[in-house]
């Protein structure tokens, strides 16, 4: 019985197997093509050749992300469902605030992330009953309490790699030869939009290169609210 399962004790493969068998086409993997996301795709491909993957194409992604997206499409023989922001919303935002509004303030940056990421995600998630993301507890203090299984807004969210270390990620990537985003080779440890991500220095936190000019929690709002709590009202794209 699902209710009696202790999801925390399941391995990443077991958790993905359970989701794919339970939800079928109403389960999807969210991917920005970082190492963790591609591991989820690789694991899912060992359960079934048919599974859904989507990506939020913010319109500001680095060219290298499209390259690894192509590699993943080819390697696994899958389609990647691209989710774009609402055209009118982005046109209005950029016209009023400029194309690089995110450098102005944390509030302006969240306006951009909300328009380009959070609300498109909310729209996409209305198609499914369960989704998976590549968050790991080790990545930051904000992520330290991430659960492998949560139900939010009646939607099941899985983080199958929650308890993986960065060494495990490296080992899986190497052993299984999964496609790797080219920016890792240039010192990036976490990869998002081009203007908001840069390489890190040795010893810096994995997410130090995200919105590096901010003293913030380094989150876009998809997974956590500004106060660091788990994001509620996921399906509306609005904070509680």
- Positions touching ligand SF4 (CB under 6 A) are 58, 60, 102, 109, 112-113, 116-117, 192-193, 195-196, 220
Active site residue 113: no
Q: Token pair for residue 125?
A: 């998630």
Q: How far is the CB of 177 from ligand SF4 (least distance, A)?
A: 29
Contact between 108 and 97 under an 8 Å Cβ cutoff? The reply is: yes
Q: How far is the CB of 160 from ligand SF4 (least distance, A)?
A: 24
For the chain, what is the total number of helices (H) and then of strands (E)? 7, 6
Q: How far is the CB of 175 from ligand SF4 (least distance, A)?
A: 31
Q: How far is the CB of 186 from ligand SF4 (least distance, A)?
A: 18
The DSSP string of 129-171 is SEEE----GGG-STTTT--SEEEETTEEEE-TTTT--HHHHHH
Q: Token pair for residue 60?
A: 């500001």
Task: Give the strand pairing for 130-132 and 80-83.
Answer: unpaired
CA–CA separation, 211 vs 200, rounded Å? 12
Q: Token pair for residue 46?
A: 């060992």
CA–CA separation, 90 vs 149, rounded Å? 33
In this chain, which residue has its C-beta nearest to ligand SF4?
Answer: 193
- Beta strands across the sheet bearing 149-152: 80-83, 52-56, 27-30, 130-132, 155-158, 149-152
Active-site residue (options: 112, 193, 196, 220): 220
Q: Which of 18, 19, 37, 25 is closest to 76 using CA atoms?
A: 37
Nearer to ligand SF4, 28 or 61 (CB): 61
Nearer to ligand SF4, 182 or 195 (CB): 195
Nearer to ligand SF4, 116 or 148 (CB): 116
3-class DSSP state of 80: strand
| Interacting residues of 145 by C-beta distance below 8 A, sequence separation 6+ | 137
Nearer to ligand SF4, 24 or 195 (CB): 195
Q: Token pair for residue 188?
A: 């990036």
Nearer to ligand SF4, 60 or 137 (CB): 60
Q: How far is the CB of 196 from ligand SF4 (least distance, A)?
A: 3
Catalytic residues: 220
């Amino acid at each position: 019985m699902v209710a009696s399962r202790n999801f925390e004790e399941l391995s990443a493969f077991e958790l993905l197997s359970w989701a794919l068998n339970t939800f079928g086409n109403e389960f999807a993997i969210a991917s920005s093509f970082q190492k963790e996301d591609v591991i989820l795709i690789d694991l899912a491909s060992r359960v079934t050749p048919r599974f859904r993957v989507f990506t939020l194409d913010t319109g500001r992604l680095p060219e290298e992300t499209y390259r690894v997206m192509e590699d993943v499409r080819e390697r696994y023989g899958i389609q990647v469902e691209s989710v774009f922001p609402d055209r009118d919303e982005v046109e209005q935002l950029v016209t009023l605030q400029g194309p690089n509004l995110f450098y102005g303030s944390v509030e302006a940056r969240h306006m951009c992330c909300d328009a380009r990421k959070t609300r498109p995600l909310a729209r996409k998630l209305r198609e499914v009953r369960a989704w998976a993301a590549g968050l790991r507890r080790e990545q930051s203090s904000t992520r330290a309490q991430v659960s492998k299984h949560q139900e939010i807004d009646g939607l099941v969210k899985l983080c199958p790699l929650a308890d993986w270390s960065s060494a495990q990620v490296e080992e899986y990537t190497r052993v299984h030869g999964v496609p790797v985003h080219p920016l890792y080779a240039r010192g990036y440890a976490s990869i998002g939009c081009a203007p908001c991500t840069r390489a890190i220095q040795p010893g810096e936190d994995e997410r130090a290169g995200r919105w590096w000019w901010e003293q913030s929690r380094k989150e876009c709002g998809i997974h956590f609210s500004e106060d660091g709590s788990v994001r509620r009202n996921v399906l509306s794209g609005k904070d509680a």
